[in-house]
Amino acid sequence: MSKTLTAQDLADTFDAFNRHDIDGVMTHFADDCVFYTVAGDEKYGNKVEGAEAIAAAFSGVWAGMKDAHWDHHSHFVHGDRAVSEWTFSGTDANGMRIEAEGADLFTVRDGKIIVKQALRKTRPMFKA
């Protein structure tokens, strides 16, 4: 019997993001997962493949913004698709801050995230 990803699993994942706990975050990602970043050179952002590379990308956000935080508002799962809505905030090393709403679109398999497509409002950073 395959496991089902739940809205609580997504909430737990975002709680782990906010603790900057990479092991807690990656608990719900498959080894062969794909992450499409908010921004990048391609129309979909950048494509990051595999759990190890994705963990490094997430850790890079935390390294660049020590106060990175996702205020997660809602999560839902329907079959093999899921959505999380959040507001991201963080301050970079130069004291520039961002606060912007966003969402993640997920594809899931056997209770694990196999695709994370991150979408975020475009908003200029401001002095903290």
Tokens for 128, please give them: 């903290």
pLDDT in tens, 117-128: 999 998 888 898
Pairing assessment for the beta strands 47-49 and 96-109 based on DSSP bridges: unpaired
Overall average pLDDT of the 20-35 stretch: 98
Q: What is the mean pLDDT of the chain?
A: 96
Is residue 2 included in any domain, yes or no? no
Alpha-carbon distance of 47 to 37, in angstroms, equals 7
CATH number at residue 52: 3.10.450.50
Question: What is the number of domains present in the chain?
Answer: 1
pLDDT in tens, 77-114: 999 999 999 999 999 999 999 999 999 999 999 999 99
Per-residue pLDDT band for 61 (boundaries 50, 70, 90) equals very high
Tell me which residue range forms the domain holding 50: 7-127
Per-residue pLDDT band for 2 (boundaries 50, 70, 90) equals low
Tokens for 39, please give them: 């921004």
Is residue 1 included in any domain, yes or no? no
Alpha-carbon distance of 84 to 106, in angstroms, equals 8
Is residue 109 included in any domain, yes or no? yes
